[in-house]
């Protein structure tokens, strides 16, 4: 009977919502565009489109070409196999990885998708990435290579033993246990569509990765313009030393001599993503100055290869770079950075160091390709998934090139977005994004959701997320409140750094300032406000549960940090914890921080329903954090639910698990906020 009543309530609560809105099921029908690279002759743009099959619980990746002269897109692969890592060779050839025939192999074809040729015939290689030399003289593979002994190596007479013996840290990372392998770079020479040499291991006999694990890929290494050298990113540290440091370096490998040299001696933080200028004059890369700070200011360092002199191109622009490319004139570099709640394109002149803001729109730019007169860029917003746009460098106007989801989006009503500035408790101005339901009527009362961002230093920009999708939330009838609280990039490094060692301080006040300000609006039902978030956002939910003074009717925390002491003792990349919360809880100087900032110390004030979600393969915020929070709620007699995904990590990425997540999420909210 109770379940029947709940079903009726759910049906009634959503009866007033238009049927022509984005739902979780429709979200998984959206095509996902990535890439957008320019052909050598500047006539075509190569991009990838991923589609998902919920029934099969899998995805497929196909390749597309946009003809800039004909203003037309063409699909050039349509197979049951995913084509991955697509890139240009010379003469507009396209190189890619595909699982078609004999596992993952290197292939090439022409710009029409014809004359497909399989270049490699690898057997039993674990391939995780790929890059072709611009002159097609060789290519680089990321390969998993066993470099560390297993328990079976130690006890060969016990082949079925299932055990690990660890003598150092980093035995697990993000969502995987250390598999006794490292990701090495191998260069293979080719001629006449054939591999002519055995792969040369750039990190031969080294127990390090040639990329930054676990998320680094082919963007972290590049060929020199003459294709004779390779520059790659590596953090050549192991165990505890790896866990407490962000000091990655750039290394140069000469293919003919097989010699390696360090390029970034004296640089202390992350140094990644090297790019050579076409004229061979410069090497540029992204760099953070401070070791141990993963969210420091990300600058572009430019090295004059003739003099060896380095210049920090973005030192005087208070933004943090996420992507960059050289203009063909080799005098300018275009880059993307979070700026005032969006991801904006800037230009910096190499000689004058003058910065120019190129775009000023309510959107995020997420990729760059530069022609002589325009920028080809991926663009998205909170209510529009990624498509390709062309931005005129003379007029500054953006023209949409692709509309890969036009048919689906044309049939639904869109939410609306508003930029709101709120005064904080310390007298600062804070940007709050407001996302309103489709056909919003200011004369009606709406339930609201405070969105708490993770990171903690990741922007609340105009991102279109497939995990925390504001468009879906607003389309279910909620007003979404998304503050750019203390600790988010895009408002200067001082604002960004203010979160460190003050997790439960000003950032929490910022959240409450946003809610209190918005609650004065007549369209907000102050008796139906919830708070939701993941990672640091989940931490925020746990913390707010102890201090909110009955502002919220319900909470949802996904993969949140609940007990900072137990979290410090089980997380893996300790440089983050050391920088942001001051380090170990047993140090006397940190006693006050842990007492003030750990949510578990405020559970005496918990009095509100809470849903806890966690993934079993989340090693950044281990599952015990969620279990502790749920257990507290249960023992205190609070209405609570624990949603657990044994095979998911910090995120929920498989289609069917994601739909379970969304259905449980909205069911929980409806129970407390829809009446």
Query: CATH no. for residue 612?
Result: 3.40.50.1820
Residue 529 belongs to a domain: yes
State the burial class of residue 191 (Cβ atoms within 10 Å of its Cβ: 0-12, 13-18, 19+).
exposed
Residue 573 belongs to a domain: yes
Range of the domain at 459: 413-673
* 73 pLDDT more than 60: yes
State the burial class of residue 56 (Cβ atoms within 10 Å of its Cβ: 0-12, 13-18, 19+).
exposed
Q: Which of the following is catalytic: 98, 320, 535, 658?
A: 535
Residue 134 belongs to a domain: no
Phi, psi of 552 (to 5 degrees): -110, 145
Would you call the peptide bond into 264 cis, given omega within 30 degrees of 0 as the criterion?
no
Q: Which of the following is catalytic: 175, 271, 332, 618?
A: 618
In this prediction the pTM is 0.94
Q: Indicate if 535 belongs to the active site.
A: yes
Residue 219 belongs to a domain: no
Residue 577: its H or E element: helix 574-580
| The pLDDT value given to residue 19 | 61
Is residue 373 within 8 Å of residue 355, measured between CB atoms?
no
* pLDDT tens track for 150-161: 999 999 999 999
Is residue 218 within 8 Å of residue 150, measured between CB atoms?
no
Is residue 335 within 8 Å of residue 456, measured between CB atoms?
no
Residue 241 belongs to a domain: no
Residue 428 belongs to a domain: yes
Residues of the chain with pLDDT > 70: what percent? 97
Evaluate the CA torsion angle 659, 660, 661, 664 in order and state its sign. Answer: positive
The residues, any chain, with a CB within 8 Å of residue 246's CB and separated by 6 or more, are 235, 269, 270, 288, 291, 292, 293, 294, 575
**Overall domain count for the chain:** 1
Q: Which residue has the tokens 């694990």?
A: 213
Q: Indicate if 675 belongs to the active site.
A: no
Q: Which of the following is catalytic: 173, 513, 650, 672?
A: 650
* pLDDT tens track for 93-115: 999 999 987 889 999 999 999 99
* pLDDT tens track for 312-344: 999 999 999 999 999 999 999 999 999 999 999
Residue 277 DSSP class: -
Structure tokens at 470: 């504001």
* pLDDT tens track for 541-593: 999 999 999 999 999 999 999 999 999 999 999 999 999 999 999 999 999 99
* 16 pLDDT more than 80: no
* Cα 493 to Cα 296: distance, rounded to the nearest angstrom: 8
Residue 549 belongs to a domain: yes
Q: Indicate if 355 belongs to the active site.
A: no
Q: What is the mean pLDDT of the chain?
A: 95
* 4 pLDDT more than 90: no
| The pLDDT value given to residue 674 | 81
* 675 pLDDT more than 70: no
Residue 84 belongs to a domain: no
* 14 pLDDT more than 80: no
* Cα 327 to Cα 306: distance, rounded to the nearest angstrom: 20
pLDDT (average), residues 279-295: 96
């Amino acid at each position: 009977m109770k379940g029947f009543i709940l079903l009726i309530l759910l049906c009634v609560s959503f009866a007033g919502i238009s049927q022509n809105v984005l739902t979780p099921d429709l979200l998984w029908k959206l095509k996902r565009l990535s890439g957008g690279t320019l052909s050598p002759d500047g006539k075509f743009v190569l991009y990838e489109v991923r589609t998902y099959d919920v029934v099969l619980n899998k995805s497929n990746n196909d390749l597309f070409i946009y003809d800039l002269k004909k203003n037309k897109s063409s699909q050039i692969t349509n197979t049951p196999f995913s084509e991955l890592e697509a890139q240009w060779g010379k003469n507009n050839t396209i190189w890619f990885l595909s699982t078609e025939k004999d596992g993952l192999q290197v292939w090439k074809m022409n710009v029409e998708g014809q004359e497909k040729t399989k270049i490699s015939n690898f057997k039993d290689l674990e391939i995780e990435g790929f890059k072709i030399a611009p002159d097609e003289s060789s290519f680089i593979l990321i390969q998993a290579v066993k470099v560390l002994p297993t328990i079976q190596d130690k006890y060969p007479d016990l082949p079925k033993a299932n055990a690990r013996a660890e003598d150092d840290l980093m035995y697990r990372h993000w969502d995987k246990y250390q598999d006794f392998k490292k990701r090495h770079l191998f260069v293979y020479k080719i001629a006449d569509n054939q591999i002519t040499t055995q792969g040369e291991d750039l990190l031969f006999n080294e127990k390090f990765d040639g990329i930054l694990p676990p998320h680094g890929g082919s963007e972290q290494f590049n060929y020199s313009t003459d294709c004779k050298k390779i520059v790659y990113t590596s953090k050549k540290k192991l165990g505890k030393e790896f866990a407490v440091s962000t000091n990655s370096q750039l290394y140069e490998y000469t293919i003919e001599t097989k010699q390696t040299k360090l390029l970034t001696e004296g640089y202390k933080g992350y140094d990644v993503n090297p790019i050579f200028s076409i004229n061979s004059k410069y090497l540029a890369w992204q760099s953070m100055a401070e070791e141990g700070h993963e969210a420091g200011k990300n600058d572009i360092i430019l090295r004059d290869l003739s003099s060896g002199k380095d210049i920090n191109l973005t030192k005087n622009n208070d933004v943090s770079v996420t992507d960059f490319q050289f203009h063909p004139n080799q005098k300018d570099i275009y880059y993307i950075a979070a700026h005032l709640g969006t991801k904006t394109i800037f230009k910096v002149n190499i000689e004058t160091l003058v910065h120019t803001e190129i775009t000023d729109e309510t959107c995020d730019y997420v990729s760059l390709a530069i022609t002589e007169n325009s920028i080809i860029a991926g663009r998205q917003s909170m209510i529009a998934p990624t498509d390709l746009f062309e931005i005129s460098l003379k007029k500054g106007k953006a023209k949409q090139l692709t509309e890969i989801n036009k048919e689906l989006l044309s049939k639904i009503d869109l939410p609306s977005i508003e930029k709101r500035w709120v005064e904080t408790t310390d007298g600062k101005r804070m940007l709050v994004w407001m996302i309103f339901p489709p056909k919003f009527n200011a004369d009606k009362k709406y339930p609201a959701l405070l969105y708490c961002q993770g990171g903690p230093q990741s922007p609340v920009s105009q991102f279109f997320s497939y995990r925390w999708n504001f468009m879906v939330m607003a389309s279910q009838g909620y007003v979404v409140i998304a503050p750019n609280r203390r600790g988010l990039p895009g408002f200067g490094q001082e604002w960004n750094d203010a979160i460190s060692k003050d997790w439960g301080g000003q950032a929490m006040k910022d959240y409450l300032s946003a809610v209190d300000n918005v609650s004065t609006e007549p369209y907000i039902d102050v008796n139906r406000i919830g708070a939701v978030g993941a990672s640091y956002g989940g931490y925020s939910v746990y913390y707010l549960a102890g201090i909110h003074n009955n502002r919220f009717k319900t909470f949802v925390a996904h993969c949140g940090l609940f007990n900072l002491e137990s979290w410090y003792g089980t997380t893996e990349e300790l440089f983050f914890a050391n920088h942001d919360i001051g380090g170990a809880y047993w140090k006397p100087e940190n006693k006050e921080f842990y007492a003030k900032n750990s949510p578990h110390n405020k559970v005496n004030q918990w009095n509100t329903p809470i849903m806890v979600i966690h993934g079993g393969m989340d090693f950044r915020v281990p599952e015990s954090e969620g279990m502790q929070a749920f257990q507290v709620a249960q023992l205190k007699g609070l209405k609570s639910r624990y949603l657990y995904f044994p095979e998911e990590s910090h995120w929920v990425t498989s289609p069917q698990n994601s739909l379970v997540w969304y259905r449980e999420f909205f069911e929980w909210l409806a129970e407390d906020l829809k009446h």
